[in-house]
Structure 1
């Protein structure tokens, strides 16, 4: 893993650095050639100085080769990340993520409560962080529950498909103490993509980072009993 910068950023910087060094390398060769051609026959270039210049030239060339190797390693890392994430396709997942696209007039999330709640409220927020819908949670008991939003605002208007929304849950005890809760995305993984070198999974109408996955399981298959003659 590259922690300080993303793989894509590192690759861009490496490419830019190589271009700059290659230009300097060519300029260095041109200057050195011109120096040798135009040196005073009665006062040739000092051998020690000439050796030093050749050493510098070799160092620049080695730097270029090292950068090429680094670029190859970064590309391999990206490919490996995508290949590894592809192994999750077809599995059922649970992710601690809340961004969901409204599609077909609905968006479905799950929410988890750490304990039974006296009150539990849900809020749907748009991309600007504004609350477009709010209401009581359909289930206030401890555990994980599903919630499907029909795309309507609290005022009754219908929002168009394509917008990305997030769900926020707030739960409290009878003593008005906050209960731990979180929003989840649950469903089947149908695809993987790379964004800035990080693998993302497609789950329903959501695209979420692989790092947000908290559970995976094989998708259940239904078998039809074979009848006897």
Structure 2
């Protein structure tokens, strides 16, 4: 049995059909303009052609293009419905971990989590602003920060010259690693924080985490926020709350 024969009979999805229609429309429109130009250039000046027909054809072509734009809008609306924004709203106030290297500078600091697949010999951190400029850099060659597993990287919001940068800026963390042989060590980067808002942007459900906009699909874990630690009671005593993970939050939707 020929596999290609089965694939040939598979109906195209709405996106594929729209893309194919757009390609054909562009080709037909280019051909139409070429023919129109040639006919206008070579027409008999004593018996000029009726321009009404050309106008009607252009109106029809424009109508098809507008219909395609309407289809795109409908596809976005369907995607928004399927993404379940009502479900995403329920995350507001939850502690969420997302797979992204971008966060915002808030309260004069930013922090990321990074996970090394194996022990590294050197780990270099670079904080990059929205313009692609490296504003801070640090290299680690020893200690717990290069061991296999998960670690936290905190930035104090100061650039290379020691100047404190204003809050609200979006920054990306780039982590470059290598082992004793010079080979790169696989690394994953996350951010974690409370979800402060949910919105729709260009057909995607976006969560606001630590001031950064993160697509819903990049959420890796959802936690119940840890309760506030009560103030010390008695003479020098304090109350500690047991936690289910190192952040003190209770994992309610582990990734994987």
- The normalised TM-score by structure 2 is 0.55
Q: Which runs of 5+ in 2 are unaligned?
A: 1-12, 17-66, 231-256
1:170 pairs, out of 169, 176, 184, with 176
Q: Does the C-alpha gap of structure 1 residues 220 and 104 become closer, same or farther in structure 2, counting only changes over 3 Å?
A: closer
In structure 2, C-alpha distance between the alignment counterparts of 1:134 and 1:184, rounded to whole Å: 18
Pairing 1:199–2:205 present: yes
SS in structure 2 opposite 1:85? helix
The question of whether the paired residues in 2 share the 8 Å contact of 1:192 and 1:199 is answered with yes
In structure 1, the partner of 2:196 is: 190
In structure 2, the partner of 1:95 is: 98
Q: Does the C-alpha gap of structure 1 residues 156 and 84 become closer, same or farther in structure 2, counting only changes over 3 Å?
A: same
In structure 2, C-alpha distance between the alignment counterparts of 1:192 and 1:110, rounded to whole Å: 22
Give the CA RMSD over aligned residues: 3.3
Q: Does the C-alpha gap of structure 1 residues 3 and 147 become closer, same or farther in structure 2, counting only changes over 3 Å?
A: farther
In structure 1, the partner of 2:150 is: 144
SS in structure 1 opposite 2:85? helix
Structure with the greater relative contact order (CA < 8 A, sep ≥ 6): 1 or 2? 1
SS in structure 1 opposite 2:119? coil
In structure 2, C-alpha distance between the alignment counterparts of 1:3 and 1:122, rounded to whole Å: 43
In structure 2, C-alpha distance between the alignment counterparts of 1:75 and 1:96, rounded to whole Å: 25
In structure 1, C-alpha distance between the alignment counterparts of 2:128 and 2:14, rounded to whole Å: 31
The question of whether the paired residues in 2 share the 8 Å contact of 1:187 and 1:204 is answered with yes
Q: Which runs of 5+ in 1 are unaligned?
A: 6-63, 225-229
